[in-house]
Amino acid sequence: MRRGRGLHAAGAGPERYQGYGRGLRGISLAVLQALEDGLEKADADPSVKAVMICGENGKFSAGADIRGFSSPNRQGPSLAALVSLIESSKKPVVAAIEGIALGGGLEVALGCHYRVAHVKARMGLPEVTLGLLPGAEGTQRLPRLIGVPAALDMITTGKHISAHEALKLGLVDEVVEANTVEAAMHLANQVIGQPLGPRRLSLRPVPPLPDTDGFLRAARLRVRERARGCLAPELCVQAVRAATELPFSAGVRRERELFVELLSSGQARALQYAFFAERAVRRWSAPGGAASHGAAPRPLRSAAVIGLGTMGRGIVTCLVKANIPVVALEQNLEYLNVGRKAVMLLLEREAKKMEQDAQALDFHNPARLQFTVDFDLLRDVDLVIEAVFEDMALKKEIFHKLSRICKPEALLCTNTSALDIDEIASATSRPEQVIGTHFFSPAHVMRLLEIIYGRHTSPTAIATAMQLARALRKVGVVVGNCFGFVGNRMMFPYVEQAVFLLEEGSRPEEVDQVLEDFGFKIGPFRMSDLAGLDVGWRSRQGQGLTGPSVPAGTPARQRLGRRYSPLPDLLCESGRFGQKSGTGWYRYERAGGRTATPDPGVHSLLAQYRHTHGIRPRHIDQEEILERCLFALINEGFAILAEGIAAGPEHLDVIYINGYGWPRHRGGPMFYAATVGLPRVLARLQHHSQAHPDVPGLRPSAFLEKLVAMGNPPLKEWMSYLSQQSPRL
Ligand SMILES: CCC/C=C/C(=O)SCCNC(=O)CCNC(=O)[C@H](O)C(C)(C)COP(=O)([O-])OP(=O)([O-])OC[C@H]1O[C@@H](n2cnc3c(N)ncnc32)[C@H](O)[C@@H]1OP(=O)([O-])[O-]
């Protein structure tokens, strides 16, 4: 028996087996062809009694080549035809599943008559996450094998399941701890000569439910609600319904129609772009030509977190979950005890969610998690993450202390959402070790980690911070240092437009609705209420935009020569801080409540405000709301790219998808701009900018203008149009 790329006939004696191999890149046409040829050869060769299919390098298959879906010249054997060919083989075919069997890879395994999995293997049908459905007859075979509820769960969520779970569901016949290929061959030997009919899934009926129709109707509603405008999950339900209502061949035809509908929907392209963008951002570049390929990370064997507020608690939790021993530090015993309780509660909850791995967390062990008020315990840690209030003086004091106490090679991270990394680094004797790690709340849940390098941050420090992101199972995105970095800097003009729309006639719930219909998890006002309105208020006071430091005689709706809305300040002045106080842009059932109800108090405040400032309210349609909010955000994105704060549009998109609830099926803001067409984005910005000349956020970025002048090039070429790369890159 030989294993390797392509099909191999191998072995002497009465049984001969076929193996096929492939790497992670997706099943290529060459592999499909080789499998087809090999199966035909095996069927024709009387000395072959059974066939075994396995992967190479300990991985069964990552599925079809995702890049192939957008290739205009895709030709050759189809995966579905191959799966049918496997199933119809006159000789038993056994799949030996090691590593992963995903998407088309699992569909190949479903065509086999038997499946043996290694105990560490994971299986899944993640097509839905790429805007597709398992279009190689997977939606028709899987329900026949494991029943409608379990199949629907796998197909509509795309989740990966463990070998043990697969065994419980009946997806595999055997789970082995030792050599999977040998176990598969052993099984093949045993089943030679047994009838194959019952093993051919296409011939089986779908196991009936007491009320299949009602179950599918409820599932469709559930899926639609969760999908926020994403088509694939709902079409997956339709395909599974076809399996329950139609004979196999008609079900396959229906699956094909739905697959083609998805493939041409545009959403599939956006989701596949997002898949590759998340991988592209792992390659980073920084000042002086430093880049991911030339920088090695330092080991991360221990960490410390300073500050056990909301962010600090979440960060400690992620570190414990990543098996990195943590020292958690607070400024006094009272805060330490409050923080300790909160962290323990979070960890208990996480342990419950993780079930069988809970033991591994071992968070009651002081060698794994230690609470202290003593800075001296930070002496030997590899990494410190400071997560105190957004107060520059306080952060500088802490960093000064850290540079005296920590070992020279320790990475010093600040969790800030906007403050200047260079200023914080200036308080230390080792600015090359200082880096921004902007976590998103709740830090143990949100996938994004914005990694901000300062002027002196070393490539090793950046590589180590990226390594941290990976260890925490987060998506790390490296960006430059500017106020708000990438995510919040793009968010400012978006939220600013939303507030201006209220001044002009909209209501918070109308603006939120339009943006939620677009696909955002929550609109800007619900989001501000959740985050707490006082956070921005304090920041604006610090910037001298509101409060006693504003010079007398400053016009109420103008700052620094540009339009300003004091509306959010007025809300805070009247004690409306959002969910925490029970009122904000909405009303809540109580302080800390989560159910937002439109608030007549806010409506009359708006009416009064407009009256005071002589603003005649007008009806603002959905298109204007969308354009002004989204295009202002996108416009800032172009400015960020032109300044070299991010290496490419993919970085901005990954940040927005993973940190700001941007709908993934729209590919991120810059991808969306490309979809709309840059000439249209520019024209609409010009239009709105003319109507609001005192709003710089609507004035088109020079880079956007340039791209339009250059003929609206595809997104992947944008960066080549920057006349000179910023000195930051
Ligand atoms: C009718 C047809 C129906 C069938 C449909 C399907 O099968 S749809 C497919 C259903 N299958 C899926 O959706 C599975 C998608 N893949 C995954 O979920 C993960 O890659 C993983 C879990 C397999 C490995 O995670 P990990 O963290 O160990 O590794 P990593 O993620 O860094 O990947 C390494 C490299 O391999 C690349 N690459 C990987 N897979 C594919 C592919 N299918 N294609 C192309 N490329 C692929 C990836 O881009 C990266 O390239 P880079 O950046 O180095 O140039």
What are the residue boundaries of the structural domains of the chain, listed by start? 8-263, 296-481, 506-612
* C-alpha distance across the termini of the chain, in Å: 51
Q: How far is CA 297 from the centre of its chain?
A: 23
CATH architecture of the domain with residue range 296-481: 3-Layer(aba) Sandwich (3.40)
Contacts of 311 (CB under 8 A, 6+ apart): 387, 415, 439, 441, 443
pLDDT in tens, 531-582: 899 988 988 998 899 999 999 999 999 999 999 999 999 999 999 999 999 9
Atom index in ligand 1 nearest the CA of residue 276 equals: 49
What CATH class has 8-263? alpha beta
Any atom of ligand 1 within 6 Å of the Cβ of 191: no
Per-residue pLDDT of 192-242, as tens digits, reads 999 999 999 999 999 999 999 999 999 999 999 999 899 999 999 999 999
Helix (H), strand (E) at residue 122: strand 122-124
C-beta of 103 in contact with ligand 1 (< 6 A): yes
Residue 724: partners with Cβ closer than 8 Å, 6 or more residues away: none
Instruction: Residue 121: count other Cβ atoms within 10 Å of its Cβ.
Output: 27
Q: Tell me what the mean pLDDT of segment 336-343 comes to.
A: 97
What does the pLDDT average to over 90-114? 96
Q: Contact 109/97 with Cβ under 8 angstroms?
A: yes
Over residues 303-312, the pLDDT tens digits come to 999 999 999 9
Query: Which residue, by CA, sits nearest to atom 19 of ligand 1?
Result: 62
Q: Is the pLDDT of residue 434 over 60?
A: yes
Kindly give, in sequence order, each residue whose CB lies less than 8 Å from that of residue 249, ignoring residues fewer than 6 positions away: none
Can you tell me the mean pLDDT for 143-152?
Answer: 98
- Residue 275 CA, ligand 1 centroid: distance in Å: 8
Protein residue with its CA nearest to atom 3 in ligand 1? 135
Distance CA 577, CA 567 (A): 13
Ligand 1 within 6 A of CB of 26:
yes
Residue 75 has pLDDT above 60, yes or no: no
- Please name which of 631, 712, 636 lies closest in space to residue 677, comparing C-alpha atoms: 712
Q: How many CB atoms lie within 10 A of CB 363?
A: 21
Q: What percent of the chain has pLDDT over 90?
A: 86
Q: What is the pLDDT of residues 155-201, one digit of tens each?
A: 999 999 999 999 999 999 999 999 999 999 999 999 999 999 999 99
**In a 10 Å sphere around its CB, with 0-12 CB exposed, 13-18 middle and 19+ buried, how is residue 645 labelled?**
buried
What whole-number distance in Å separates Cα of residue 553 and Cα of residue 468? 50
Domain 506-612: give its CATH code: 1.10.1040.10
* Sign of the C-alpha dihedral computed for residues 203, 35, 133 and 98 taken in this order: positive
Residue minimizing CA distance to atom 29 of ligand 1: 24
How far does residue 62's CA lie from ligand 1's centre (Å)? 6
Residue pair 40/6 in contact by the 8 Å Cβ criterion? no
Give the pLDDT mean for 374-391: 96
Which residue out of 24, 252, 654 has the highest number of ligand 1 atoms within 8 Å of its CB and is therefore the one to mutate? 24
Distance 354 CA to ligand 1 centre (A): 25
Instruction: Report d(CA 661, CA 412) in Å as an integer.
Output: 29
How many CB atoms within 10 Å of residue 25? 11
**Which of 27, 66, 253 to probe ligand 1 with, by most ligand atoms within 8 A of CB?**
66
Q: How confident is the model at residue 73 (pLDDT cuts 50, 70, 90)?
A: low
ipTM field: 0.97
Ligand 1 pocket check for 74: Cβ under 6 Å: no
